[in-house]
Amino acid sequence: MDINIEFMRELHKTSHIVLDTITKNLFELGFTFSEFLILLHLEKTEKEAVQKLGDIALITSGTITFVINKLIKKGLVKKLQNPDDKRIFWISITDLGRKKFEDLFKSHMEYLETVLSSLSTQEKSEFIEKIRWLNSRLNITANEV
Amino acid sequence: MDINIEFMRELHKTSHIVLDTITKNLFELGFTFSEFLILLHLEKTEKEAVQKLGDIALITSGTITFVINKLIKKGLVKKLQNPDDKRIFWISITDLGRKKFEDLFKSHMEYLETVLSSLSTQEKSEFIEKIRWLNSRLNITANEV
DNA sequence: CCAAATTATCTCGACGTCAAGATAATAATG
DNA sequence: CATTATTATCTTGACGTCGAGATAATTTGG
C-alpha cells in the first residue's frame, strides 16, 4: 500500500482510539474534552480571552462561544468585558468551577494513569518528542498554542 | 505539567491538525474521510459486509448504515443480501464508483504527497512503527481491522 | 423443536463541531 | 477626521458521528 495512505491510516486509527477513550471517560464525568482543556487552563490562570481559549481547545470561534456559554450556564466560569478593548471578553473560573474541576481532574488523572500504565515515563517522553517532531515537520499551518 | 496530560495534549493536537487537513482536502473533492476509507477498501475487494466496513472506517453500526446509504444514493456502491445469512448485506463498488474513486484517489494522493513531502520514506516508516508500537502498548481494547 | 441469546442492520434523537455571515469595537490610512 | 480594514465575538444552519433501542435473522441449549 502507498506509504502516505498507510501513514494516515495508522495515525487516524490510533488517535481515534485514544481520543475516543479519553472522551468517553470525560463524558462519564459530565464533561467534554474541550471543556476539560478550557478548565485546565483557567484553573491556573486569572483570566483568559475567549478566542485564546478556542486556540487552546482547537475549536473555532463559533464553537468556543457555545462552549463558554454552556460553562457559564453551569456556573463554572464567568465572563467579564475588557474595559480597554470592548471586543474582548475575559473568562475566569468560579469557585464552584474550581471545586468541580478538582474532582474531575483527580478522576480523569486516575483513569489516564490506568490507560498509560504500561508505558514508562521515559517512553512517554520519547513519544511526546516524536509527535512534536512530526508536528514541526509537516507542511501544515495551524494556530500555535 | 503532568506527563499523562502532556502526552494526551500532544497526541490530540497533532492528530487534530493532521486529520483536519486531510478531511478538508477530501471535503473539497466531495467526500468524507469515512467514505474515502470505505471506497479505498471496496476498490480492491469484490464485496464486503456492512459491519466490516464500519470497523474499517472506525464508525458505529448506525453511522455505517447512513454512510453506505449515502454512497448508494450517489450510485457509487451497491448492496446485495447474502442468501446464506440474510442478516448480512454485501456492499460492492459500482463502475461509476470505481471511476470516481480513481479521480479522488489521484487528487488526494497528490495532496498527501505535498503535506508529507518534508518526510523521507524512512522517516514515515519509522513513525508508522512508533504509532503501531504505541497502539499495542496501550491498555485499550478496540476492534481490530 | 422451541425459547432464549446472539448477531447484523436500521431508526431516531442528540451532541460537538464547523463554516459563513452578522455585529460591534478598534486600528490604520489618506 | 472619515473611510476602510481588521479583530473579537456571536448567530445560524448544516454535517458527521454516537448511543440506545427496534427489527429481523440466525444460533444455541434444554
Please name the residues between 29 and 58 in chain A that touch chain B, using a CB distance below 8 Å. Answer: 33, 37, 40, 58
Is B120 within 8 Å of chain A by CB? no
Is A1 a residue whose pLDDT tops 80? Answer: no
Residue A12 at interface with chain B, using a CB cutoff of 8 Å: yes
Interface test with B, best of A1, A7, A109 (most B CBs within 10 A): A7
pLDDT digits (tens, 9 = 90+) for B4-62: 999 999 999 998 998 988 999 999 999 999 999 999 999 999 999 999 999 999 999 99
Query: The whole model's pTM is what?
Result: 0.89
Nearest partner of A119 among B131, B127, B4, judged by Cα: B4
Q: How far is B145 from chain A (nearest CA, A)?
A: 9
Per-residue b/e over A20-46, b at no fewer than 16 CB within 10 Å?
Answer: ebbbebbeebebebbbbbbbbbbeeee
Instruction: Tell me whether residues A137 and B124 touch, CB distance under 8 A.
Output: no
Beta carbons within 10 angstroms of residue B41's beta carbon: 17
Q: What is the pLDDT of residues A24-80, one digit of tens each?
A: 999 999 999 999 999 999 999 999 999 999 999 999 999 999 999 999 999 999 999
